């Protein structure tokens, strides 16, 4: 679904609706990049801890629920990551809602608005 969203953004012609969407999409992309950096930081720390405990090797993938006890998973670093993940998902739903609202206000110059609005709501809502 993300690939389809990227394809739609690439094919979206310059229009007033595109200018309305672009700045919001830029902020969403920056937030997503920040969350990806934070997830990488968390996963590197997690695999480092598992290697130090002898439960994993450096080339292993962090195993989620199977890598240790449940207490280890609710670490302060994971609790630090949760608000950013939640903010990203809420931002995706909001972006979808704002695109649909913009479309229903009468800005029907392009077909990308309603499709991307529904897709962002599905992406953000299904990840919550």
Q: How confident is the model over 2-25, as pLDDT tens digits? A: 899 889 988 888 888 888 889 999
Contact 123, 29 (CB under 8 A): no
- Count of beta carbons in the 10 Å neighbourhood of residue 45: 14
Q: Is the pLDDT of residue 128 over 90?
A: no
C-alpha closest to that of 95 among 74, 114, 120, 77: 120
Q: How confident is the model over 44-86, as pLDDT tens digits? A: 887 777 778 887 776 666 555 444 555 556 778 778 888 999 9
pLDDT the model gives residue 12: 87
pTM of this prediction? 0.80
pLDDT the model gives residue 46: 79
Q: How confident is the model over 106-115, as pLDDT tens digits? A: 888 888 889 9
Helix axes 112-127 and 2-11, enclosed angle (nearest 10): 150
Q: 106: left (phi > 0), else alpha (psi -120 to 50), else beta?
A: left
């Amino acid at each position: 679904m993300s690939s389809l969203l990227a394809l739609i953004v690439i094919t979206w012609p310059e229009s007033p609706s595109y200018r309305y969407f672009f700045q919001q999409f830029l902020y969403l992309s920056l937030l997503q990049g920040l969350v990806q950096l934070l997830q990488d930081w968390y996963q590197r720390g997690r695999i480092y801890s598992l290697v130090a405990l002898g439960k994993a090797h450096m080339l292993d993938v962090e195993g989620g629920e199977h890598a240790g006890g449940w207490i280890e998973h609710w670490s302060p670093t994971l609790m630090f990551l949760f608000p950013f993940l939640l903010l990203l998902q809420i931002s995706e739903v909001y972006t979808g809602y704002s695109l649909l609202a913009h479309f229903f206000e009468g800005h029907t110059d392009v077909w990308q608005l309603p499709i991307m609005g529904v897709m962002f709501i599905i992406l953000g809502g299904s990840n919550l």
